[in-house]
Amino acid sequence: MTHARVLNLKKEKEKEKEKEKEIHISTSLQFFSLQNHSKSKPAFFYFQTEHQSLRISHLLTSQLPNSSPPPPLPAYYSPMATSTSINGGRCEAGEVHVIIGPMFAGKTTDLLRRIESESSSGRFFFSFFFFWGGNVAMIKSSKDTRYANDSVVTHDGLKFPCWSLPDLTSFHRKLGDDEYHKLDVIGIDEAQFFEDLYEFCCKAADHDGKTVIVAGLDGDYLRRSFGSVLDLIPLADTVTKLTARCELCGKRAFFTLRKTAETQTELIGGSDVYMPVCRQHYVSGQAVMESTRNVL
């Protein structure tokens, strides 16, 4: 057999191997698709084969509007990818933002500021009837009766109309379907008092597409996890821990000291009962309080 003939036979064998490999990949593909709702970032489709994960981002960027026509698709591309979405095609995914810290740290102030910035971002029309504007609702626990029943009030006296509720689950029913579906943003203050906080935030963000902004104490006066606030961390887009000023030395205060002898976890009060302190003054102050409570 001539040398040229041998070379031709060798090339034909290599081509057959290539074809076999392609057919092999196309049959063993499992398709993962994470449909990206925001059109600004390229979404990624992953082809998982037995040997490696091939990321083909250019496919999706070319599928996005205002982009050049898609390149010729590889032999193993599956058109079904464009129809799969992580939430089964339901509404846009929402968001969960958590604001924690001791008392007097500015949690409620920050909550109100964020609600305002949501309005200035043109998310909805900011108006005098803002509370009834249908895009934002503020909820606080009805256990908080310090300053007002129908408003969220900061320690500086800033007020904001709100729903004062014993639980979160009743909110959708009380507001009504039409108004609830119009909502973009739900603010929750004094979140440590809501036992159904996790379930409410999960449904509102994951299934109803709401942006939920939650403000609450991370710890009680004994620095134990307070209510379900910390359970939200795995659900959250962002978590912000704020600090106050230590009443005894002016340093950053991370904790809340109870100045009275009561020992129940829930005790509504302001600076008459509580003060923010740094670690050093929490430890010393708590030691004094514990000996006082033991005597009493």
Ligand X SMILES: Nc1ncnc2c1ncn2[C@@H]1O[C@H](COP(=O)(O)OP(=O)(O)O)[C@@H](O)[C@H]1O
Ligand Y SMILES: Cc1cn([C@H]2C[C@H](O)[C@@H](COP(=O)(O)O)O2)c(=O)[nH]c1=O
- Residues within the interface to ligand X (CB under 6 A): 101, 103-109, 154-156, 244-245, 247, 276
Hey, which residues between 81 and 120 contact ligand Y (CB under 6 A)? 103, 107-108
- Given 20, 50, 116, 190, which residue is catalytic? 190
Taking the complex as a whole, the smallest distance from the CB of residue 249 to ligand Y amounts, in Å, to: 19
Token pair of 97, please?
């933002």
Exactly one of 112, 139, 246, 257 binds Zn ion (CB under 5 A); which one? 246
Exactly one of 216, 281, 282, 285 binds Zn ion (CB under 5 A); which one? 281
Exactly one of 164, 211, 228, 256 binds ligand Y (CB under 6 A); which one? 256
Looking at this protein, which amino acid is placed at residue 48? Q
Task: Give the C-alpha separation, 111 to 109, whole Å.
Answer: 5
Residue nearest to ligand Y (CB): 220
Exactly one of 248, 259, 286, 289 binds Zn ion (CB under 5 A); which one? 248
* Residue 194: other Cβ atoms inside 10 A: 26
Q: How many residues bind ligand Y (CB under 6 A)?
A: 16
β-partners of residue 140 are 164, 189
158 binds ligand Y (CB under 6 A): no
Task: Give the C-alpha separation, 154 to 108, whole Å.
Answer: 6
265 binds ligand Y (CB under 6 A): yes
Taking the complex as a whole, the smallest distance from the CB of residue 285 to ligand Y amounts, in Å, to: 13
Task: Give the C-alpha separation, 38 to 59, whole Å.
Answer: 16
Question: Where does the chain show beta strands of DSSP type E?
Answer: 30-33, 45-48, 53-55, 95-100, 136-141, 151-153, 159-161, 163-165, 185-189, 211-215, 238-241, 244-245, 252-253, 255-258, 274-277
214 binds ligand Y (CB under 6 A): no
**Residue 269 binds: one of Zn ion, ligand X, ligand Y, none (C-beta under 5 to 8 A by kind):** ligand Y
Tell how strand 136-141 and strand 163-165 pair up: parallel
**Residue 249 binds: one of ligand X, ligand Y, Zn ion, none (C-beta under 5 to 8 A by kind):** Zn ion
190 is catalytic: yes
Catalytic residue numbers, as ranges: 190
